[in-house]
Amino acid sequence: MLEGLVWMVLGNAGLLLAAHAACRRLRTGRPALDGLLFVLVHLVLISVAVLAAGVGGFLTPRGLGIPATGLLALLVLAGEQKTLPRPTRPDAGLAVLILSGLLAARLVLQVWFLSPMSGDACAYHLTKVAEWVRAGAFTREMGLDSHATFPAGFELIDTWWVVFLHHDVLIEAAGAEFALLGFLAVRALALGLGSSSRAAWTAATLYVLTPAFSVQAVSCLNDAPVAAGILSIAALVAERAHPALVLIPLGLVLGIKGTGVYALPGWLLLAFFERKQPRLSPSSVRAALAVAGAAVVAGAFWYVRNLIWFGSPTYPLGSKAPEHEELERLIQIGPSLASLGKNLNELVGAMITDDRSGFSGTLPGVAGWGIVAFSVGALAAVLECRRDPAFRKAAAAFVVSMLSVFLMVKNDSWFARFVLFAPAILCIAAARLAEASRPAAALVALGAVLEFAATVVPQGPAGVGPWALARMPWRERSAAALLGVEPPASPVGVYANRRLPTYLMYGPDFSRRVVYLRSPQPADLPAELRGQGVTLLYMGLQGRSVFVFNDLVRVGVFRPLTGRFYELPEGIPSHR
| Per-residue model confidence as pLDDT tens digits over 219-260 | 999 999 999 999 999 999 999 999 999 999 999 999 999 899
- Cα–Cα distance measured from residue 518 to residue 529, given in angstroms and rounded to the nearest whole number: 10
Q: What distance, in Å, lies between the first and last C-alpha atoms of the chain?
A: 47
Distances in Å between the Cα of 350 and the Cα atoms of 365, 416, 421 are 8, 11, 19
The pLDDT assigned to 488 comes to 93
Length of the chain (residues): 576
- Cα–Cα distance measured from residue 419 to residue 227, given in angstroms and rounded to the nearest whole number: 7
Cα atoms in the Cβ-side hemisphere of radius 13 Å centred on 384: 29
Question: Residue 298 phi/psi, 5° resolution?
Answer: -60, -40
SS (H, E, C) 353-382: HCCCCCCCCCCCCCCCCHHHHHHHHHHHHH
| Sequential DSSP letters for 307-367 | HHHHS-TTTTTT---GGGHHHHHHS--S--HHHHHHHHHHHHHTGGG--SS---TT-TT--
The one-letter code for the residue type at 464 is: V
The pLDDT assigned to 356 comes to 81
The pLDDT assigned to 229 comes to 98
- Cα–Cα distance measured from residue 425 to residue 405, given in angstroms and rounded to the nearest whole number: 16
Question: Residue 291 phi/psi, 5° resolution?
Answer: -65, -40
The one-letter code for the residue type at 381 is: A
Nearest to 59 by CA among 162, 142, 136, 161: 136
Nearest to 301 by CA among 47, 512, 19, 123: 47
- Cα–Cα distance measured from residue 52 to residue 70, given in angstroms and rounded to the nearest whole number: 16
Nearest to 109 by CA among 452, 366, 424: 452
Question: In what order do the strands lie in the sheet containing 565-567?
Answer: 514-516, 492-496, 536-540, 565-567, 559-560
Distance of CA 353 to the CA centre of its chain: 24
Cβ count near 319 (within 10 Å): 18
Nearest to 405 by CA among 382, 421, 387, 424: 421
Distances in Å between the Cα of 247 and the Cα atoms of 218, 270, 291, 293, 351 are 26, 16, 9, 8, 33
Low-confidence ranges of the chain (pLDDT < 50): 575-576
The pLDDT assigned to 332 comes to 84
The pLDDT assigned to 362 comes to 84
- Cα–Cα distance measured from residue 517 to residue 531, given in angstroms and rounded to the nearest whole number: 11
The pLDDT assigned to 321 comes to 62
